[in-house]
Amino acid sequence: MEKLEVLITEEQLRSGVAELAERINRDYNGEELLVVGILRGAFVFLADLVRRLTMPVVIDFVAVSSYGDDTQSSGVVRILKDLDESIAGRHVLLVEDIIDTGLTLKYLYENLKARHPASLKVCTLLDKPSRRRVDFNPDYAGFTIPDYFVVGYGLDCGQRYRNLPMVCVIRQEQEGCPPFAGGEQPR
């Protein structure tokens, strides 16, 4: 772990997720919610979040890839796995691990909006607003962080570290990690 430095502890994650869930519970007031996780990074956050939701919940996933490396989104987003559910007329909450340039979510948001959900909101665990390249603001954000490359709690570096229970900053360049890995990266 010497190359990793803890940025957000397990305890901070727990209370941050609890606060988000409370706000969501209040806002939807018992209405059924279709929670859509963006694979792969959102899976840990989504698992913790949905266990604190009190309305009826249906869960689905979408997988996207973006051509470029993990620290520089190209804006060309491709859906690798689409939703299994139809979202027309339903309340949809898109759950993401981190918003960086905003390109991925802007694309997905517009793609899903065109399917006429009753409502569409976005909940992200982490937000890096200083890196934004398009105007996109989440409805719910757990933690705003500086321009660090972070791993853990679902977030990867070269597909590793997703299992860490806390969010860490990588302080040193590591082999197989972005920005060195190019090509089409699963998120």
Instruction: Identify the residue among 103, 112, 120, 122 touching ligand 5GP (CB under 6 A).
Output: 103
Residue 138's contacts (CB-CB under 8 Å, 6 or more residues apart) are 96, 99, 105, 122, 123, 124, 127
* Residue 95, phi then psi, degrees to nearest 5: -115, 125
Instruction: Identify the residue among 7, 36, 39, 73 touching ligand 5GP (CB under 6 A).
Output: 73
Instruction: Identify the residue among 37, 41, 102, 117 touching Mg ion (CB under 5 A).
Output: 41
Closest CA to 136 of 65, 58, 77: 77
CB of 141 to Mg ion, least distance (A): 14
Instruction: Identify the residue among 45, 65, 100, 167 touching ligand 5GP (CB under 6 A).
Output: 100
CB of 14 closer than 8 Å to CB of 170: no
Q: Is 149 in the site for ligand 5GP (CB under 6 A)?
A: yes
Closest residue (Cβ) to Mg ion?
A: 41
**What is the DSSP secondary-structure string of 11-63?**
HHHHHHHHHHHHHHHHHHTT--EEEEEEETTTHHHHHHHHTT--S-EEEEEEE
Among the listed ranges 8-16, 23-31, 82-90, 101-109, the one in contact with ligand 5GP (CB under 6 A) is 101-109
Q: Which of residues 143-172 bind Mg ion (CB under 5 A)?
A: 156
In angstroms, the CA 87 to CA 109 distance is 12
**Would residue 100 show up in a list of annotated catalytic residues for this protein?**
yes
Name the residue nearer to Mg ion (CB basis): 48 or 70: 70
Name the residue nearer to ligand 5GP (CB basis): 4 or 105: 105
CB of 161 closer than 8 Å to CB of 147: no
CB of 50 to Mg ion, least distance (A): 17
The pair of three-digit structure tokens given for residue 134, joined into one six-digit string = 């398009």
Q: Coil, strand, or helix at residue 10?
A: helix
Instruction: Provide the binding-site residues for ligand 5GP, judged by CB under 6 A.
Output: 41, 70, 73, 96-105, 149-151, 155-157, 187
Residues that bind Mg ion (CB under 5 A): 38, 41, 70, 97, 156, 187
Residues labelled as active-site residues: 100
